[in-house]
Chains A and B, each alone.
Chain A
Amino acid sequence: MLSGNIPVLDVRGEICPYPMMRTNKELDENLPGTLALDVLTDHPPALSTIPPQAMKRGYEVEIEEAGSGQWRIRLTKAAS
């Protein structure tokens, strides 16, 4: 399990398609090649839009509830 400083992208308060668009932007432009990213969202549809986009970029996805009506999507990638 990863520990330490996993960068966090907080997209709470955003609705579709912004959670996915901002996650993609984070992965592609702001933190290209990052090995891990935690995305915080309170928009349930994002739980099915973000994972396929992250998987396309080679990330593994784990979702856990982070309180009522909000989730943490943890994206991780093995160092290549």
Chain B
Amino acid sequence: MATEIIAEAPGSGAGNLLIPKSRQTFAGMIAIVLTAIVAILIAREDETVAAIWVVGSMFGFTLQRSRFCFASAFRDLFLFGSGRNMKGILVGMAVATLGFAAIMRWLVPNPDFGGLPGEAHVLPVGLSVVVAGLMFGFGMVIAGGCVSGSLYRMAEGYVASWVAIAGVIIGLGVMTHTWNWWWTNIISHEPKIWFPSTGGMGYAGGVVLTMAGLGLVYLAVTWWETKNGIFSPHISRHVAPAMTFSERVREVIDPVFKRGWPIVVGGAVIGFLGVLLYLIHMPLGVTGELMRASIEGMGWIGLDAPIMEGLSTLGGCTGRAGESGLLTHTFAITVGLLPGALIAALLAGEFRVRLPARKIRYGQSLAGGVLMGYASGLALGCTVGAFFSAVPSLSLSGWVFGAALAGGAFAGTYVIKRIP
């Protein structure tokens, strides 16, 4: 961390408080118990869904603690030359790549036979991914957070993030009504390029290529930071050694629950959770459930989504939106993220209902959300499903989506600099 919190000033600025700090810790503990009870109740119906619920909560917890943010990862490169968040993402994808490769090799021992590993996020590559990445990258910078970022901020009390997620659901709805055009004219002609079955590369080649690519991008980001004069100031902590029992316990508890995590630790944990989730069923992704919400919502207002051709054959996040019932896998990961992020915020004393200071932020959140929703429908996933889970799936689509995200974020950065 760049700095440390040196004192707690009680009572000051209490105007907008919802819950005082000590009560936040207490509420956080209650939230842990409730989340666990929900997990046990779900397990009585379906143990797989319960397991995904728990991973989802850990995902939300980690996102909040490490302030994992895809929007700032791309935006800050252009805004002030910082690659802090991008490095966390790269490390996370490297961890996930090793785990995914092991799982995929177990699912498909011989990649040359033409089959793709079930559930891997190997998605079509072509114009659709480029358009989606540009739209999504632009939208997330305008809204101030991507889909996963807005989800965990919803739980932390950011009102604008609720607006952003509403926008995402609307955008996904618009997508369902234009999907068949994209499918017929564009997506059905696009190949899925999976490195292990390309050019006789095999798993070894696919992993080496992906890891080398991640390493090169990491180096490039470091070069970019150097060029822009970015440094992480180190402030030495002069902390007395822990002597009493309670001090020794706090020494373990505080870095996990009270202080923010280094971004690289957050990235590695999220990469690990992605591997765990793939072992349970599928790679990480959050838009599937939002797509279900969108389809459901349109049904209520009489704008029923048309049958989306080809979608169920494509995989990715939105391809899973066809699951029915409440206790689906997409429900467990997306909704499970919320209590995890809430617990993290409460235990750290960071929960607060935050209303945007300026009304224009509502507009930015909604517009950015709609763009992200449309784009994640088109790309079959958001920055998590179509990027963070696609690169480790050894899919070319993840790289193309990532590059397009950077392009969109560049344009978005240009615009927000001009919105005061």
Contacts and interface: CB of A to CB of B under 8 A. Distances in A.
Interface of A: 11-18, 20-21, 40, 42-45, 47-49, 51-53, 55-56, 61-72
Given A13-B358, A49-B76, A55-B233, 12 more contacts: A15-B144, A16-B144, A17-B72, A42-B352, A42-B354, A47-B260, A51-B2, A65-B8, A65-B349, A67-B14, A68-B24, A69-B354
Contacts of A62: 3, 6
A63 B13 contact: no
Contacts of B190: none
A14 B356 contact: yes
28 contacts: A12-B16, A14-B357, A14-B358, A15-B354, A15-B356, A16-B144, A17-B79, A17-B144, A18-B144, A45-B67, A47-B2, A48-B1, A48-B3, A49-B76, A49-B82, A51-B3, A52-B230, A52-B231, A61-B3, A63-B3, A63-B4, A63-B6, A65-B349, A67-B13, A67-B21, A68-B21, A68-B352, A70-B13
Interface in B310-354: 345, 349-352, 354
Interface of B: 1-9, 11-14, 16-21, 24, 67, 69, 71-72, 75-76, 79-80, 82, 84, 144-145, 153, 157-158, 160, 229-233, 260, 345, 349-352, 354-358, 361, 416-417
Nearest to B351: A69
Given A64-B7, A65-B7, A48 B13 contact: no
Nearest to A48: B2
Nearest to B5: A63
Contacts of A69: 17, 157, 345, 349-352, 354
A52 B233 contact: yes
Contact of B416 (A17, A63, A67, A72): A17
Contacts of A47: 2-3, 260
